[in-house]
Amino acid sequence: MPITPDDRTRIRDAVAAAEAATDGEIVVVLARRSDAYHDVALQVALLAMLLVLAATALWPGWLLAAHGWAEPWGDAPSPRFLLATTGWVMAATFLIVRYGCAWTPLRMALTPATTRARRVHARALMLFRAAAERRTVAATGVLLYLSLDEHRAELIAEAAIHDRVAPAVWGDALAALLAALKQDRPADGIVAAVGAIGTVLAEHFPRGAAPMNELPDRLIEL
């Protein structure tokens, strides 16, 4: 889902057009992903290692088979052999799963949807505070944040807007964005969402006598 120079121009023009009829300011941020989720990979690897221990407790026969393969003419397996073999298999399982999860698509697939949603929201909130909050005279900044790998979008508005516009009103903007994203058309989705946001802002915050462009219109890519 690459963003081309033409896409950037379209998005910039869409933001400028949306702001032409309102005192609201729209900031659009596009990120590849909102988190690396390395902690999820570690948790999955630890879980896989513990499952080896649980499986051994339920089906210890594999240890006896391993002893028979290693020492076909030996005595009964010693506790040392059993513990060492189990430990090596647990360690190998941990390393295999941990390094397998270094592949980003697998790591993303193993991350629960609720975890992805929380981290996308947290990243959007952080960016809103850095790029939009209290950066306009009338406190009318809106952040539209799109995180591609999670296929999630967030829209955060300043208190002056939030007090007048119910969160459900932004549903059309986010629906248009996510629908286009599912079709691998993020730029089209952003343009449609910006247009919908501009319509809402123009209704509640019409353009004043002294128009100002206080926040950048360009797409911010992370």
Q: What is the pLDDT of residue 95?
A: 94
Indicate whether 92 and 202 sit together in one domain.
no
Q: What is the pLDDT of residue 189?
A: 87
Question: Could you tell me the CA-to-CA distances from 69 to 63, 81, 89, 182, 190 in Å, in that order?
Answer: 10, 13, 15, 52, 61
Q: Is the pLDDT of residue 73 over 60?
A: no
Shared domain check, 72 and 170:
no
Q: Does one domain contain both 21 and 71?
A: no
CA 75, 78, 84, 86 torsion-angle sign: positive
Average pLDDT over residues 88-114: 92
Q: Hey, what are 127's tokens?
A: 């960016």
Residue 46 in this model has a pLDDT that exceeds 60: yes
Q: For the beta carbon of residue 214, count every other beta carbon within 10 angstroms.
A: 14
Which of 91, 109, 127 is the last residue before a domain boundary?
109
Question: Where is the domain boundary, 109, 139, 168?
Answer: 109
The per-residue pLDDT for 74 is 58
What is the end-to-end Cα distance of the chain in Å, rounded?
14
Q: What is the pLDDT of residues 188-212, one digit of tens each?
A: 888 988 988 888 888 888 887 666 7
pLDDT at residue 71 above 70? no
Evaluate if residue 217 carries a pLDDT over 70: yes
Mind giving me the DSSP string for 35-66? ---HHHHHHHHHHHHHHHHHHHHH-THHHHHH
**Structural domains in the chain (count):** 2
| High-pLDDT (> 90) share of the chain, % | 29
Do 55 and 12 belong to one domain? no
The model's pLDDT over 1-35, given as tens digits with 9 standing for 90+, comes to 578 889 899 999 998 888 888 888 889 999 999 99
* CATH classification of the domain holding 192: 3.10.310.50
Residue 153: domain span? 5-35+113-221
How far, in Å, are 94, 124, 169 from residue 10 at the CA level? 47, 22, 24
If asked whether residues 91 and 134 sit together in one domain, one would say no
Please indicate, yes or no, whether the overall pTM of this predicted structure exceeds 0.85.
Answer: no
Q: How remote is the C-alpha of 8 from its chain's centroid?
A: 21
Query: How much is the pLDDT for 162?
Result: 78
Looking at the structure, do residues 22 and 53 belong to the same domain, yes or no? no
Quote the mean pLDDT of the chain.
84
Q: Please say which residue of 109, 142, 157 terminates a domain.
A: 109
Instruction: Tell me the sheet residues that pair with 143.
Output: 27, 156
Contact 131, 219 (CB under 8 A): no
| Both structure tokens of 215 | 């926040």
- Can you tell me the distance from the alpha carbon of 140 to that of 57, in angstroms, rounded to the nearest whole number? 61
Q: Are residues 54 and 130 in the same domain?
A: no
What is the pLDDT at residue 77? 66
Q: Same structural domain for residues 59 and 159? A: no
β-pair type (152-157, 220-221): unpaired
Neighbours of 78 (CB within 10 A): 11
Examine the domain organization and report whether 104 and 119 are in the same domain. no
> Ranked by mean pLDDT, which of 74-78, 162-166, 200-204 comes out on top?
200-204
